[in-house]
Structure 1
Amino acid sequence: MFKNKGDRLESLIQYFYQELSKLSNKNIKVKTKYDIDGKSGTTHNIDVYYQFELNGIIHRVIFECKNWKNKVSKDKVLTLKAIIDDIPNSVGVMVAPKGYQSGTQTFAEHHGIKLISGSEQSLLAIVVQSKLSVVLPDETVIGEPFYCLMEKDNNGELTGNYIQNGDESGKFFLILYFSKKEARESRTDLKSVVRGIDKNHLTILCEYSEHLGLKLAIKQFVSTEALGVDANLLKNYFL
């Protein structure tokens, strides 16, 4: 349970970078409410602290999370600049879902501070899409437990898009097939290709469903209909 909206945003940013860190070979640390001493001897409490080592040098990213009702002013970015000036090899990032007041972006860019705004859903979308781009199933992946249809471009390469089908109510579902043959026979688009879904891919699709609203369905064996299914049910039975 989160004590307030700020805690929720900080936990989301921590999750965001922890998940992206799994795609990297670097030695990475991500902490919330992290205390670090600056060159001045002052202890700074950092909302989200991200650290990695590259070529023997420790690099630090200092996040300030402002989950406020109003837009963030330039003064708050100035405060962040003072913190990163006091912490060696650090850069600053401010996250504010409601955005920033006029002139704040120009000030931040001048001092090399990154400003991020947008909904939780948009942040999570970056995570999921990044993970999908790394683990797109190729023709060697065996469907354990499912197969699906994916989109290919004119060169036969996967675009990263999973093909979804609509029902009578206008809702669209990503259909999961138990049989590769059934998936192949369901192809109605020349730009589609059958790909296996293993447990790693299914885990990511369940995340996509839970956080971004992707609707999943299972095509029952030798049935003409697909049955909508909850991501938690899929995880309980197949992961």
Structure 2
Amino acid sequence: MRNSDHLERLRQKYTRHKKARGERVAPGEFLESYVSYMYESLLSAQAGAVSVRRNARVTDNIGATYQIDVLFEFNVGNLIHRVVVECKDTARKTERDEAIAFEGKLRHMSNTVGVFISVSGFQPSALQYLDQHGIEHLDGASLPTFGEVVAARIRPLILPSENAMGQPFWALMHVSDGRPDGSWYRVPDELIHRGKETAGDGWTFVLFDAHRHAVMFQETLSQHGLEWVVRGIEQPMLRLLTRLATDSDMRFGLAETLALEGRICLEFTQVLTAAELAGAYLVPRYAPE
């Protein structure tokens, strides 16, 4: 299914839900609602309490006040961080003047990430301006990968710490320049499903249900000069991973380590879809709605 088809399917589902409740869908409401849901899921994984507001009025550092389509605020390291999202759900492409206006809102806001979403896309001059000013932009086709794009921008703020406990899983995260970089250990589907047709994006996310198995495999990788660290997957992060994986159809492999002919190898006890993993292992507080 194309990403644009996926977005339209979500729009239709949202509209049916509203009509069933006797409510009207206001212009731009679906897009803002979708963005709010995805961002809140992402940020709540590690940032703790997240404030989510739509059609918010925000005052910047020099006293100017702006209307913001979707605003997220969260506290990390005793600093308030913001994600400001501009949503355009119109039939025409976003123009350069609109990009300039959005950048003007962000110019004097501290600790703020800006994201411009335009379902119908952008004119080339608008894209150029957003790129020049470091503002993320997504169109309707790329919107379903929204969570992954945003994760890359705020990943340094929400990576699980070395003190995170497995609830109930452990996983390996890649180390770059001496620090975890947010890339999780995955294996090609073909290593698990030899001779069988596979679904998804071609990769399976590796989860260990025992800390010692994760450590054994990490030590094996280290012996080959590969830098990875063990991190606990707490329930908020597990919810985030399952939600992000839903858009790509990535699977999750529950693994153990075995000593085979003098080598440490992975043995997969189960391979689950994101929905199956969430249904079986998320506690009610974090289970899908």
Length-normalised TM-score, structure 1:
0.63
Cα RMSD between the aligned structures? Answer: 4.5
1:214 paired with 2:250, answer yes
> Which SS does the other structure have where 2:147 is aligned?
helix
Cα drift, residue 102 of structure 1 = 5.0
One-letter code of the match for 1:116? H
Query: Could you tell me how far apart the structure 2 residues matched to 1:229 and 1:97 are?
Result: 32
1:128 touches 1:207 (CA, 8 Å); kept in 2?
A: no
Cα drift, residue 63 of structure 1 = 3.4
Aligned to 2:138: 117
One-letter code of the match for 1:185? M
1:96 touches 1:117 (CA, 8 Å); kept in 2?
A: yes
Identity %: 18
> Which SS does the other structure have where 2:229 is aligned?
strand
Question: Greater CA radius of gyration, 1 or 2?
Answer: 1
1:179 paired with 2:210, answer yes
Query: Could you tell me how far apart the structure 1 residues matched to 2:136 and 2:149 are?
Result: 16
1:160 paired with 2:192, answer no
One-letter code of the match for 1:189? L
Point out the more displaced range, 206-215 or 14-23: 14-23
Out of 171, 178, 201, the position equivalent to 1:148 is 171
Cα drift, residue 16 of structure 1 = 4.7
Cα drift, residue 108 of structure 1 = 8.6
1:10 touches 1:47 (CA, 8 Å); kept in 2?
A: no
1:66 touches 1:72 (CA, 8 Å); kept in 2?
A: no
As a proportion of its length, which structure holds more helix?
2
Quickly say closer, same or farther: Cα 1:104–1:148, change in 2 above 3 A: closer
In structure 2, runs of 5+ residues without a counterpart are: 1-12, 16-24, 58-66, 74-81, 259-265, 283-289
Query: Could you tell me how far apart the structure 2 residues matched to 1:143 and 1:210 are?
Result: 21
2:88 touches 2:118 (CA, 8 Å); kept in 1?
A: yes
Query: Could you tell me how far apart the structure 2 residues matched to 1:105 and 1:153 are?
Result: 30
Cα drift, residue 176 of structure 1 = 1.0
In structure 1, runs of 5+ residues without a counterpart are: 37-45, 53-58
Query: Could you tell me how far apart the structure 1 residues matched to 2:210 and 2:136 are?
Result: 47
Length-normalised TM-score, structure 2:
0.54
Query: Could you tell me how far apart the structure 2 residues matched to 1:193 and 1:93 are?
Result: 31
One-letter code of the match for 2:246? E
Aligned to 1:229: 272
Aligned to 1:189: 221
Query: Could you tell me how far apart the structure 2 residues matched to 1:63 and 1:136 are?
Result: 26
Query: Could you tell me how far apart the structure 1 residues matched to 2:72 and 2:231 are?
Result: 37
Cα drift, residue 164 of structure 1 = 0.7
Query: Could you tell me how far apart the structure 2 residues matched to 1:115 and 1:224 are?
Result: 40
1:8 paired with 2:30, answer yes
2:217 touches 2:257 (CA, 8 Å); kept in 1?
A: no
1:145 touches 1:178 (CA, 8 Å); kept in 2?
A: yes
Aligned to 1:40: none
Cα drift, residue 101 of structure 1 = 2.9
